[in-house]
Structure 1
């Protein structure tokens, strides 16, 4: 229980500060926990992805509410991206439970390597001239963002923030809008993992599809309390050092998870 509470606190803080969902930390640790309980590698990974996505519902809501109060959510863009990410997350979760778990774990680790490297070496975002993109571009981008987010169980921040900043949007508003977009990503992804796992008989009795309700409760409780702290911190503290720390952790955990699954 303490492990889950600590995990939720760190994930929630990261969500609030960087507009990310924390799946890079939650999925590897939950996979290890489920493997230790005797679940097969494929079920362990699918449960970790589904449960992580469910926790992001709570984390993203808490985070974007704080960002919205500060005026950092651009709702015009949100409403064009949101339908696309819902379509994408339903698609991504359906793909995730149908491909070989080794390939899924490899994809997860590779994506975490990309996102961690990008976060670790990223330079300070600079102000640019704002680019006005067509509404259908936001919808298509949403499908892509949603699909990848569901496959690796993230809130989409590592994709949302660069996409928004590319348009010349201020980094704080990009993070705030990303946190808001994380909410429909989490809703769609969670529904997808529930629907695709609802008829799997070998799951735990505490499961709703591929979502483990016990782990969901403890992680969500802690992340809900920690997310506003992260959102407030991003406005007051230079985040370079903390950003590098959050880049190293998910990469290390994802590599460990991959080899654990191979050895299971």
Structure 2
């Protein structure tokens, strides 16, 4: 395909993408997310200015975001684990259900439209944002995380939905763990590990889903663009530990408010993009 954006705009957007990578890296450590909630809309705009076909633009944004999340989640997870904050028992029980959900999500992504992916992203982000903003700790579904088969079903659902959103699962996992009485700091730390379980098979799945698709830009393998990954990954990996440090200094309520406001802004942006 032929790129249509002037070189000046490409340079400017590359700088914006690098900045988004820095923000995503901090968010990875701060919220236990892979940064996809900020990367997906920025990648979408980046690809739009490059003249990438709208039919594959959202899919590329989601798939590339999952690729970027891999090293970011690993770096964030290791930093949280060093502080003893990760629930390793939960992660071990999700070693199969979460990737299984990712596989199903990748299969769905091969057929769902770009607007469909946007709508999924916006709806889930709004629900989770509302929970974070208005729940002061009183809303609980139980005193502890349920065992199997409920745990496995929830893990599979988190993997599926997060794959379709292009995120590392922190959005869903934070909500799940806090609804069952776990501290927000433990939820954030464990979510970084969940991101690893989602991002690796998710990237592979989007490569497969987009294999041979028309309209893909240069340096793409399926719905994953290697050039965008090369620009963003080093920055996100470098700054993720700063977010981890910040997460352990904030209060539970402060962490919830920041997370909820952030998600709500992203959801509004995607809803607006459906009509503009």
Question: Structure 1-normalised TM-score?
Answer: 0.89
Q: 1:247 to 1:164 in 2, by over 3 A?
A: closer
For residues 243 and 37 of structure 1, what CA distance do their matches in structure 2 show?
Answer: 36
SS in 2 for 1:190: helix
Which residue of structure 1 lines up, in the alignment, with residue 4 of structure 2?
Answer: none
- Give the drift of 1:114: 2.0
Q: Is the 8 A contact 2:79 2:241 kept in 1?
A: yes
Q: Structure 1 stretches of 5 or more lacking a match?
A: none
SS at match of 2:144: coil
Q: How many Å apart are 1:139 and its aligned residue?
A: 1.8
1:96 pairs, out of 94, 109, 128, with 109
In structure 2, which of residues 189, 204, 222 is the aligned counterpart of residue 191 of structure 1? 204
Q: Does residue 1:214 correspond to 2:266, yes or no?
A: no
Give, in whole Å, the separation in 1 of the partners of 2:83 and 2:151. 24
Q: By how many angstroms is 1:241 displaced? A: 5.1
- How far apart, in 1, do the equivalents of 2:257 and 2:183 lie? 21
SS in 2 for 1:123: coil
Tell me how far apart the structure 2 counterparts of residues 38 and 20 of structure 1 sit (CA, whole Å).
29
User: Which residue of structure 1 lines up, in the alignment, with residue 192 of structure 2?
Assistant: 179
- Greater alpha carbon shift after TM alignment, 186-195 vs 234-243: 234-243
2:182 corresponds in structure 1 to 169
Q: How does 1:240-251 map to 2 (within 5 A)?
A: 240=253, 244-251=257-264
For 2:274 and 2:26, locate their aligned partners in 1 and report how far apart those are by CA, in whole Å: 28
Q: Give, in angstroms, the shift of residue 256 of structure 1.
A: 3.2
Which one is further off, 106-115 or 175-184? 106-115
- 1:251 to partner: Cα distance: 3.4
Using CA pairs under 8 Å that are at least 6 residues apart, name the structure with larger relative contact order, 1 or 2.
Answer: 1
Answering whether residue 8 of structure 2 is matched by residue 3 of structure 1, we say no
CA change 1:36–1:230 in 2 (3 A) is same
Q: Does 1:70 align with 2:83?
A: yes
Matched, 1:19 2:39: no
Partner of 1:139: 152
In structure 2, the residue matched to 1:153 is 166
Partner of 2:93: 80
Unaligned 5+ runs, structure 2: 1-13
Deviation readout 1:88-131 (Å, 9 max, x if unpaired):
11111221231122222222222222233333334258999853
Preserved contact between residue 85 and residue 145 of structure 1 (Cα < 8 Å): yes
**Of residues 54, 59, 68 in structure 2, which corresponds to 1:46?**
59
> Taking structure 1 as reference, are residues 215 and 78 closer, same or farther at Cα in structure 2, changes over 3 Å only?
same
Conserved 8 A contact 2:185-2:252? no
The TM-score with structure 2 as length reference comes to 0.86
Deviation at 1:135, TM superposition (A): 3.4
